[in-house]
Chain A
Amino acid sequence: MDNPTESFIIDDQDAGLFRVNRKAFTEPECLENERRRVFDKCWIYVGHESEVPHAGDYRSRSVAGRPMILVRGDDSVVRVLLNTCTHRGSLVCRQKSGNARTFQCPYHAWTYNSRGQLVGVPGEDSYSDAFKRDEMGLVAPPQVDNYRGFIFACFDRAADSLYDYLAGAREYLDLVVDQSELGMKIVAGQQSYSARANWKLLVENSYDGYHGLPTHQRYFSFLSDIGVDMKGVSIATPSHQKAVDLGNGHAVVEYQSAWGRPIAHWVAPFGEHRREHFEQLRRRFDDRFGPERARRICETSRNLGIFPNLVINDIMAITVRTFFPVSPDYMEVNAWALAPADESAEDSALRLDNFLTFLGPGGFATPDDVEMLESCQRGFANREVGWSDISRGMKREHPSITDELQMRAFWRRWNQLMTEPQLRRARKAA
């Protein structure tokens, strides 16, 4: 299994054809390889620093199949710690969130402080001199870093820095984070759901402009019913939209949208009484960034995919969404709302309201996305139909957001990681 495998993609740039072998969605061996070649090699999103605002605040969650603790130590440093006692394995943190000075393993009462150092071992005199307490702290992933509040971990000691890894995605993260002068925060309330589908189907879906109208016509009918002007913006106009390969498997679509945005893009359903307030907000952006960047921040929506499994969709609200495969045909999804840390209670309520019109497992759109992914997965049982087509817009000079450039950026990187002989090289080096 460590040997380079046959390519999962057909990438014929001359002919303009791109195909993905459906074994990538169905084979258990493929998932085994993904765990080691993708999830153990890439920077994986763990959480946002706003989730642990005070010293001792922690969140325990599963990341890339591992129970982890995101904790702000008593020194105010945010750390990621692997949630397993270095003694014999038990979880040392069994609450989902809270504030603690120490984590005490319930099994034999080994105690760690909020920095992860082992500070208490009952009957410590029974150990030999070779037992070093300061070597037995909670283990951290080999690399942990933070880009403007977003905290990532990487299990590959040799991997590029997070800054370099994010490559072109930084520009788009900046467009999100610049929405506040005081930083962004994750709003209370986690949407914890799932799909009976391969995780990569959700990658494709999260920035797929082609499915918008057919899959989500009920949402656009709703917008029209509540009085949103649907004629003002045409996503088919090239000057108003683009799809960009951001490097390292990241990609984005950026476009002008009909829906209102809680950042300074007013629409009629927000209410006439909010119009002046939104214009003020907008002028503040003009002052901070100049009219062009202000327009981009406020009026354009963007669906950003950070390889492999982080989606930040800055659309009618901002969702941060991450997901992990449990089996080839089942994934767990966690999603949050991201908002300016200094947003007023009224603006925040509007933002959350706007979020729920489309997003989440009870929204007017996400359930239909889950349905489509599950429908694809069921279709894959027809093994005679071995390949999916992702060729759309391949010969176009400026692919549109309804083309499939974004997915091809993902698949090329994914296929490279899945087939390059990196593990063999690593073993030789060892």
Chain B
Amino acid sequence: MSGMELPSRQEVEELLYKEAALLDEWRLDEWLELLTEEAIYEVPPTDVPEGDSRNTLFIIADDAVRIRSRVKQLLGKAAWSENPRSRTRRMIANVRVLGSDGENILVTANFAVYRMRYESVDTYIGRYDYKLAREGSILKIRERRAILDNEALRPHGKISFIL
């Protein structure tokens, strides 16, 4: 590992739990503040979970422009798949600070995200891989990748909220 100072698991957990709460409460503008300026958000396809979005068709591969646009759309009225909005509840567990790649702090965590809409409950199960960075003393998200264990988005049909 490089000389980068790693955060404690507790500090990382605070960040991830706060993120989960902001997303579940649809406080998406505040969620954006947890991200760095050039942040990336990706969801790989279920058949190539460890793929690279430059050569593999992902489900989501947002750069910072698209993340902000996604939030703007979701907070507006015309994102029909989230109007009316889903209820979501995220369980974040098995948080591990893996080390650093010299520029980023590498963190992984398991997730179970429940989405409730029109009296159906869909469960998204998987693992987050995070790349975190410090801006001053504040720990921020530079990259978040939600890797689904679900073999297909069935019967979910879509990822219309921020997973």
Contacts and interface: CB of A to CB of B under 8 A. Distances in A.
A345 B54 contact: yes
Interface stretch (A6-14, A101-109, A193-201, A393-401): A193-201
Contacts of B46: 190, 192
Contacts of A97: 47
B8 interface: no
Given A218-B79, A352-B53, A367-B81, A189 B58 contact: yes
Contact of B159 (A215, A352, A355, A361): A361
Contacts of A273: none
B154 A193 contact: yes
Interface stretch (A219-227, A242-250, A307-315): A219-227
B87 to A, nearest CB: 16
Contact of A357 (B54, B66, B80, B155): B66
A364 B98 CA distance: 33
Contacts of A364: 69-70, 73
A353 B157 CA distance: 21
Contacts of A196: 120, 155, 157
A188 interface: yes
A362 B60 contact: yes
A217 B72 CA distance: 13
B32 to A, nearest CB: 15
A195 B157 contact: yes
B78 A221 contact: yes
B116 interface: no
A367 B153 CA distance: 12
Contacts of B76: 218
A336 B57 contact: yes
B125 interface: no
A366 interface: yes
B152 interface: yes
B65 interface: yes
Interface stretch (A161-169, A277-285, A291-299, A370-378): A370-378
B83 to A, nearest CB: 9
Interface string B58-100: 1111100110011011001011110000000000000000000
B56 interface: yes
Interface in B146-162: 151-160
Interface residues of A, number: 43
Q: Which of A188, A357, A378 has the largest number of chain B CB atoms within 10 A?
A: A188
B151 A187 contact: no
Nearest to A355: B57
A156 interface: no
B51 A361 contact: no
A193 B57 CA distance: 14
Contacts of A372: 80
B2 interface: no
Nearest to A349: B54
Contact of B69 (A222, A349, A366, A368): A222
Contact of A193 (B58, B66, B120, B153): B153
Contact of B57 (A218, A225, A352): A352
A193 B60 contact: no
A423 B106 CA distance: 62
Nearest to A220: B78
Nearest to A269: B65
A96 interface: yes
A194 B80 contact: no
Interface string A307-347: 00000000000000000000000101000110000000100
A352 B80 contact: no
A188 B54 contact: no
Q: Which of A218, A352, A366 has the most CB of B within 10 A?
A: A218
A226 B70 contact: no
A189 B153 contact: no
B43 interface: yes
Contacts of A189: 44-45, 47-48, 51, 56-58
Given A194-B156, A352-B57, A360-B59, 7 more contacts: A196-B157, A337-B57, A349-B54, A352-B53, A352-B56, A371-B80, A371-B160
Interface of A: 96-97, 187-196, 215, 217-218, 221-222, 225-226, 330, 332, 336-337, 345, 348-349, 352-353, 355-357, 360-362, 364, 366-368, 370-372, 374, 378
Interface of B: 43-48, 51, 53-62, 65-66, 69-70, 72-73, 76, 78-81, 118, 120, 151-160
8 A-B pairs with the lowest CB-CB distances in the bound complex, closest first: A189-B57, A192-B152, A362-B60, A367-B81, A367-B158, A189-B45, A371-B81, A193-B153
